[in-house]
Structure formats: C-alpha cells, structure tokens
A and B are shown apart, each in its own frame.
Chain A
Amino acid sequence: GGPSTPPGISDKMSESIKEAQEACSEDSASGECAAAWDEVEELSAAASHARDKLKESDPLENYCKENPETDECRTYDS
C-alpha cells in the first residue's frame, strides 16, 4: 500500500460519512441527504489528492532541495 491519508482529512471523512448516513435515514431523496454525501465525495477527492502528494515526495529529492552541495546530491550537466 501507498501512503495513508493525513489524519486531519481522514477524521473529517469518517465524521462526514456518519453525518451523511444520519441525514439520509429519514429521507434518502432529500436535498440534505444529497448535500451530505456530496461533502463525503469532496473530502474523498481531497484525501486522494493529499495521498498523491505524499506519494510523489521522494525523501532523497526533498533532502537535495535543501542541500544541493552534498555528495549524494551534486549533479553536473557536463
């Protein structure tokens, strides 16, 4: 598995899933129900983007941004 979702977003998500299930318990065709699930979708997308960002970050690349002069980071074009 890849990196996990940042805890802040993850908590918000499980909370909004619960809220959506409650909002839909009375009337599953109501605007409130749709809006609640739409919030879940928005957070799912945000969570997935946050995971992608973590995936893209390479520890060595990050280190080399800060320390380009070190042995493990120096690159010469010619």
Chain B
Amino acid sequence: MAICSAHTTTSLRSPCTTISNTGLRQNQVILFTTRSSRRGSTRHGARTFQVSCTAEKPIIIGLAADSGCGKSTFMRRLTSVFGGAAEPPKGGNPDSNTLISDTTTVICLDDYHSLDRTGRKEKGVTALDPKANDFDLMYEQVKAIKEGKAIEKPIYNHVTGLLDPAELIQPPKIFVIEGLHPMYDQRVRDLLDFSIYLDISNEVKFAWKIQRDMAERGHSLESIKASIEARKPDFDAYIDPQKQYADAVIEVLPTLLIPDDNEGKVLRVKLIMKEGVKYFNPVYLFDEGSSISWIPCGRKLTCSYPGIKFSYGPDTYFGQEVSVLEMDGQFDRLDELIYVESHLSNLSTKFYGEVTQQMLKHSDFPGSNNGTGLFQTIVGLKIRDLYEQIIAERAGVPAEAAKV
C-alpha cells in the first residue's frame, strides 16, 4: 500500500496527483477513488485505483484581534510567505469575507454571528458578546474542515449587517480562522494547531482608529473615543482573556524611546512566544535563554532619531514560560533590517535574507518599517515551518505503520 502526500511524486494519471497539486479537490478525489474501485474490475488499470490515498488534512491556525487592528495586513503577509496572492472566492458573493490562495484559506469568524446587526441592537449586545455568536456551528465546521470535508459556511455581510446565503469552502492545506473569538470556545481551541493573538494597547488602538476614521463624515475625536469606550467592557470580558491560550502574542505598545509620545507612529512591539509548543521553536537574539538589550546603531549602522532598540529574554506570561523578543523604534533603510536579521536565530527562513526580502516585497503594507511587520513576517515563517513539520510527520508515520 502506498501513501500519497503533498510531497509524493506520482504519475499524472494516478488519482493521488490531484491531491498533491491542490488541496481543494480532495473530496471529489476520494469519492472518485471509491467509486472507481467499486467497479474497478471492469476497468483497465484497476489496480492503480486500489492505491489508498491518505487525504491531506488541513492544519488549523487561529488569529485573534479586535477589528481595525491589522488582521488583514497580517493575513496578507502570511499568505505571501506561502507564495501566491490571496483573493476572494471567484464568482461568489462580492461581500464574502473569505480569502483563498493556493495553499491557504482564511475565513472571518464574523460569519458565525448568530444575531445580525438588527438582532444585536434589539437585544442590546455587541458582536464581541458570545451570545451573538454560534460556537456550535463554528466548532462543527472547523472540525469538518480539519477532517478534510468541505463546508457550507454562512456569510456575514459587513456592509448590510445581514447574514447572506452560505458559500462552499473546500479544505485547503492551511486553514486560518481570524476574528474576535477563535480561542473562546474550548472545543474550537482544541482544534487549533497554532494560535496567535494581536494585542494592541489602548493608546495605540486610539491612535490607529483616529488615523483610520477621522476623515469620515460625522466621526469626530469624541465619537471615536466614545466608540472605543463603549466596546471596552465586552472587549475586556470576552476577547482579551483569549491571549493566555495563544502560542504567540504580538503586543503593540507606545515607544519608550520618545518621552510622552502619543502619536502612535513609533511603536514598541513585543513578540511573546510560548515555550514547549510542539513544532514551534521561538526566535532568539544572540544567545538562547539569556536576557539581552541591544542597540544596533553605532559604527556599523546609522540610525536616525529615535533609533532602534531590541530586547530579548525569558519571561512568564499567564503563568507559562515564554521567550520575548522586543523591538522599539523604526527602520529608515533596508540595510538596517538585513543587519538585524543576521543577528536573529531560529527564524525558520529557507535562505539568508528571506525576512528582509518578504518585508521589501510588501513595503507598502502598514507596519513595514517597524516591529509589527517584522514580527508578523517572522510568525508567518514559523507557521510555514510548523506546517512542513506536521506534513512530514504525517507522511512518515503511516509509512512506518504500513511496513508492519
């Protein structure tokens, strides 16, 4: 018995080839295989159909963050690491929240709202409230995808505030669920192979929302503030506690390099990485496990005001051991980034300079000159590494079993 996986090269006629090329068709392929083997005796080449294919099952990634906190930028950086651009499903609902690339499908968990906009207003609950979300359906569908089955997922339309007719989602290689509650329900949490929480401090959130919304007609400084304040109790009760479950947290804080800075342009960004997570080796600076503070500016590197400062060291986060890498300040030029990259270890890059290359590829994305872009890119590389390890192990283990 042969086992086919993404890395197996099979002849073009083998039913397994389709699996290797795209994860999208695997359901049809399995149906085809069973049907063919049933009437296999009458067909020529029936023996090839008896090859049993281990369907490739997606790995599941959870990304939690508040709205307007850069989830979409993160998603674009992640899909770019895997190669190919992410696009909405072709020919479907133009307001679909789903993004599909060759390897990755990203769904937005707002699609699991049980109450639409009118329903929430009538009941006086926000979208942050678990009562406004259908966690049973979320669990069932994420589980089905993880088992390699296609799903009919509802679409929450952000413009109309209504629940639109469902769309068909095929299992990809990497399935990302992003939104407010990916780690809220324990059943869903247990399905995740890796989880990330984007933690934006209140000061920075305020600055970002001003940048985003000030030009809007009728939206003033007061109304932006009121909106943040009104949502805060639910945010603190239901969203924020999820960060304790995340394998990686990206924390965005005001800079300490400029005294009393509240512009939110220069940022201090922390990458908090959980220790002891299978397939995930935290990045380190110079020496693993030591506490280090590093200012790369000097004879070898010119930095403009306010400069760049890195820190690295072990810490505890919600009672768990973590490694924390921090960057304060921003890059002015490329040579700064390659200089920094060359001093970081365990980046899971395929070649020297890959982090810098990825950042340069998307120099127009928000955060490309500071720690948010750098750490999002690093997490993207870590997820690729995790995926490759899981696939390699899956391909290896059943092969061993088949020998016995």
23 sample A-B contacts, Cβ–Cβ < 8 Å, listed by A number: A1-B215, A12-B159, A13-B216, A13-B217, A13-B219, A17-B218, A24-B230, A31-B123, A32-B121, A34-B126, A34-B230, A34-B233, A36-B121, A37-B231, A38-B230, A39-B117, A39-B120, A42-B117, A44-B227, A45-B67, A46-B158, A46-B159, A50-B159
Which chain B residues border A9 with CB–CB below 8 Å?
159
Instruction: List residues of A (32-73) whose CB comes within 8 Å of B's CBs.
Output: 32-50, 52
Chain B residue with Cβ nearest A33: B230
Which chain A residues border B229 with CB–CB below 8 Å?
37
Counted as pairs of residues, one from A and one from B, with CB atoms less than 8 Å apart, the total is 101
Which chain B residues border A4 with CB–CB below 8 Å?
215
Chain B residue with Cβ nearest A8: B159
Which chain A residues border B127 with CB–CB below 8 Å?
38, 42
* From B120, B124, B219, contact of A44 by CB (8 A): B219
Q: Which 7 A-B pairs have the closest CB atoms?
A: A31-B124, A14-B218, A37-B230, A38-B126, A46-B158, A37-B227, A32-B124
Instruction: Give A43 to B231 CA distance when docked, in angstroms.
Output: 14
**Are B223 and A21 in contact, CB atoms less than 8 angstroms apart?**
yes
Q: Per-residue 0/1 for B233-276: is the Cβ within 8 Å of any A Cβ (1 yes, 0 no)?
A: 11000000000000000000000000000000000000000000
Chain A residue with Cβ nearest B69: A45
Chain B residue with Cβ nearest A18: B218
Instruction: Give A45 to B205 CA distance when docked, in angstroms.
Output: 13
Instruction: Give A37 to B68 CA distance when docked, in angstroms.
Output: 14
**Are A39 and B161 in contact, CB atoms less than 8 angstroms apart?**
yes
Which chain A residues border B227 with CB–CB below 8 Å?
20, 37-38, 40-41, 44
- Chain B interface: which size bin? 20 to 34
Shortest CB distance A41–B (Å): 5
Interface presence of B125 (CB below 8 A): yes
Which chain B residues border A36 with CB–CB below 8 Å?
121, 230
Which chain B residues border A46 with CB–CB below 8 Å?
158-159
Instruction: Give A18 to B220 CA distance when docked, in angstroms.
Output: 12
**Are A48 and B121 in contact, CB atoms less than 8 angstroms apart?**
no
Which chain B residues border A8 with CB–CB below 8 Å?
159
Instruction: List residues of B (100-146) whose CB comes within 8 Å of A's CBs.
Output: 117, 120-121, 123-128
Which chain A residues border B209 with CB–CB below 8 Å?
44
Shortest CB distance B275–A (Å): 34
Interface presence of B226 (CB below 8 A): yes
Interface presence of B202 (CB below 8 A): no
Chain A residue with Cβ nearest B217: A14
Instruction: Give A30 to B126 CA distance when docked, in angstroms.
Output: 11
**Are A44 and B216 in contact, CB atoms less than 8 angstroms apart?**
yes
Instruction: Give A33 to B191 CA distance when docked, in angstroms.
Output: 35
**Are B231 and A48 in contact, CB atoms less than 8 angstroms apart?**
no
Instruction: List residues of B (150-171) whose CB comes within 8 Å of A's CBs.
Output: 158-159, 161
Shortest CB distance B98–A (Å): 14
Shortest CB distance B106–A (Å): 14
Q: A28-B230, A32-B121, A33-B230 given as contacts; is B128 within 8 A of A38 (CB)? A: yes
Which chain A residues border B161 with CB–CB below 8 Å?
39, 42
**Are A42 and B158 in contact, CB atoms less than 8 angstroms apart?**
yes
Instruction: Give A5 to B209 CA distance when docked, in angstroms.
Output: 15
Instruction: Give A4 to B227 CA distance when docked, in angstroms.
Output: 22
Which chain B residues border A48 with CB–CB below 8 Å?
68, 212-213
Which chain A residues border B128 with CB–CB below 8 Å?
38
